Structures are given as C-alpha cells and as structure tokens.
C-alpha cells in the first residue's frame, strides 16, 4: 500500500500549515501540497483543511511510500527514465487506498523526487516517460506541451482501415452521458488532431492493426477519434458500447466474460509504442518491447 499514515503529536490550537512547517519540519511547498491534496488527518480520521487549528492530540500524515513488483525502466539516464507499462496498471494513485500503480516503481527506482512526465490510460500498455528531478520534470512537460515529443501508438480496431487518415475533430466532455469521464467530438470542443496509418487488415476477424500519431493530447483523444469514424478499439470499455454496459463495467458489477463479449477483447488493444525526442542535444528514439496481439 503506497500511502501510509505517519502519526505526529499535535500542538493544540496551532494552525495546520504553521504546525507542519515548524513542528513536523516540512518545507513550505510540501506542507501546502499535503494540505491541498487532503493528506492531513486528525487522530479520528477527519481531514484537516487549510487554516484550521489543531483540536486533537495527534495528527496523521498520509505519506507515499513506494513498493515494487519488479517493473524496471527499459531506459534510464541521469535526467529521466522510460517504463514499459503493462495494460491494466494505473500510472498514478486515485486515492490513498490505491494499492499499487506505476508511480510506485518510478519512486522506488528513481527516488522520491521522480515524477511522471505524462500519463496514459490504465488499459493502455506501453511507454511512459518519467523525470528524475523537478527541473527535468518541468522541462519535459513543457516539451510535451510544445509538441517537441513525438508519440506513436499502435492499436487493433474493429473494421477495415486501408489508407492513411487524418481526423480533425474538436473534443469536449460528453454531455448527457452516464459516464463521468466520457469525452465526445463536438464543434464546440478543443481542437484535436490524430493521424492514422494502416499496418494490417485481418479479413477473417474484420479487424485492422494501425499506427496512430496524436498531434494534440486531449483526454481519451485516440479512443474518441477512432470511435467517431466507427472504428472502435477492441477492449474499449467506454466507447463503442452501450452506456449501460459501460457503467456496469466501471462499477465492477459485470463479469469478465460479459465484458469480453461486448468489447471483443480481455484488454484495451492500444499501446504507446514509440517516443522520439531531443534532450540535451541528443536524440532518443525508444520503442516498446511488448507485442500487441489478440
């Protein structure tokens, strides 16, 4: 379990931020971070908010302590590392009850200052770039924002794709949807662009293996754009299936066999396959070592 509660004796009536800095010894930035992320509790488990004064004898701080399952980076230098994430693994904890995620391995192997430079969905396998220190983290995130890092994905989708395709469809949060995280194409959304290139069409299964180059980086962009042309990624539990089924999948009230029946795969058939960029005057061109196949 990555988050563990560390108990400290409280100073009654002292404001929480002042207490964390003066008595616990946290840097100002870390104290502010813990408060903002709701990681400070009284001894009865009640969250302590900013500017609150301490009213109990002890304060509990939820501290991230990484564990490992042996997922080592496939590339590492003194600035950053690249992990080859399996499908089904979240990159970041969603709450302090998250048992294990990629950030565990990042912090375990690279240290407590290491961070994820970007994210991919839990169902997506493949490459995730991680920074080793804060300065590098800021630099790499800026490179992503400025589109200085080329990302290539591969996917298996329903139907036939035999020619290069460019999808220019704005994306926004879905309206009137049962699924809170669902996105949709909409003229009122943010400009989004995805390039699709065919690799292979399997006429026996009526599926296509394709290369995907997202030019922009919207939430669920690849999945939304492919679904907009009726080429849903196999294993997608949100797009291309009935929303009542999607809702049952997300609430874990449906069997794995039923999920496969509706999505045509036991996993999301999408992989972050390549990262190419220049850093410190050197060119890096890294490919995933995983083989995406049904």
Q: In this structure, is residue 294 part of a structural domain?
A: no
Q: Which of 104, 121, 137, 236 is catalytic?
A: 121
Number of other CB atoms surrounding residue 278 within 10 Å: 11
Instruction: Give the end of a domain, one of 146, 180, 204.
Output: 146
For residues 138 and 222, membership in a common domain is answered with: no
User: pLDDT at position 86, please?
Assistant: 97
Token pair of 169, please?
């469809």
Same domain? 82 vs 57: no
Is position 205 within any domain? Answer: yes
| Domain co-membership, 202 together with 247 | yes
Encode pLDDT of 172-181 as tens digits: 999 999 999 9
Residues 137 and 121 in one domain: yes
Where a domain ends, among 107, 128, 146? Answer: 146
In the residue annotation, 121 being an active-site residue is answered as yes
Q: Are 92 and 191 part of one and the same domain?
A: no
**42-69 CB burial, b ≥16 within 10 A, e <16:** beeeeebeeeeebeeeebbbbeeebeee
Give the N- to C-terminal CA distance of the chain in Å, as an integer. 32
Residue 278 lies in a domain: no
For residues 223 and 175, state if they share a domain.
yes
pLDDT at 133: 95
Backbone angles phi and psi of 224, in degrees to 5: -70, -45
pLDDT (0 to 100) of residue 293: 80
pLDDT of residue 1: 52
Positions in the chain whose pLDDT score sits under 50: none
- What range does the domain containing 97 cover? 75-146
pLDDT of residue 94: 83
Q: Give the end of a domain, one of 95, 115, 146.
A: 146
Which uninterrupted H or E stretch holds 84? strand 80-85
pLDDT in tens, 85-128: 999 999 998 877 788 999 999 999 999 899 999 999 999 999 99
Structural domains of the chain, count:
3
In a shared domain, residues 124 and 160: no
Please tell me whether residues 138 and 224 are part of one structural domain: no
According to the model, what pLDDT value does residue 97 have? 79
List pLDDT tens digits, range 193-205: 999 999 999 999 9
Instruction: Please indicate, yes or no, whether residues 181 and 139 belong to a single structural domain of this protein.
Output: no
Could you tell me if residue 250 is inside a domain?
yes
Give the CATH number, domain containing residue 25. 3.10.290.10
pLDDT attached to residue 63: 87
Q: Are residues 228 and 243 in the same domain?
A: yes
Q: Is residue 33 part of a domain?
A: yes
Is 282 part of a structural domain of the chain? no
Q: Are strands 270-279 and 125-131 parallel, antiparallel or unpaired?
A: parallel
One domain for residues 46 and 142:
no
Residue 139 placed within a domain? yes
Q: Domain of 94: which CATH number? A: 3.30.70.580
Torsion 190-196-202-203 (CA) sign: positive
């Amino acid at each position: 379990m990555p988050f563990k509660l560390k108990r400290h004796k409280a100073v009654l009536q002292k404001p929480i931020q002042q207490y964390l800095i003066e008595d616990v010894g946290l840097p100002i930035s870390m104290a502010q971070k813990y408060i903002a992320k709701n990681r400070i509790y009284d001894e009865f488990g009640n969250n302590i908010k900013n500017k609150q004064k301490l009213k109990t004898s002890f304060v509990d701080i939820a501290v991230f302590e990484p564990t490992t399952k042996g997922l080592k980076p496939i590339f590492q230098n003194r600035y950053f590392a690249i992990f080859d994430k399996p499908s089904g693994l979240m990159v970041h904890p969603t709450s302090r009850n998250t048992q294990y995620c990629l950030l565990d391995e990042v912090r375990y192997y690279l240290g407590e200052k290491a961070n994820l430079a970007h994210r991919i969905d839990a169902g997506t396998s493949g490459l995730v770039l991680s920074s080793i220190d804060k300065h590098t983290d800021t630099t790499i995130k800026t490179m992503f924002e400025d589109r200085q890092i080329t990302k290539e994905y591969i996917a298996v989708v329903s139907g036939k794709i035999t020619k290069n395709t460019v999808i220019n469809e704005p994306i926004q949060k879905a309206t009137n949807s049962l699924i809170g995280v669902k996105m949709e194409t909409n003229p009122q959304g943010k400009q989004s662009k995805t390039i699709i290139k065919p690799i292979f069409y399997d006429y026996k299964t009526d599926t296509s293996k394709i290369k995907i180059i997202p030019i922009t980086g919207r939430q669920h962009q690849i999945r939304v754009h492919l679904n907009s042309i009726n080429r849903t990624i196999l294993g997608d539990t949100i797009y291309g299936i009935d929303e009542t089924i999607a809702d049952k999948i997300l609430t874990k009230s449906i069997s794995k066999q039923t999920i496969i029946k509706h999505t045509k795969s036991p996993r999301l058939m999408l992989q972050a396959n390549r990262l190419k960029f220049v850093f410190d005057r050197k060119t890096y061109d890294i490919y995933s070592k995983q083989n995406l196949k049904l």
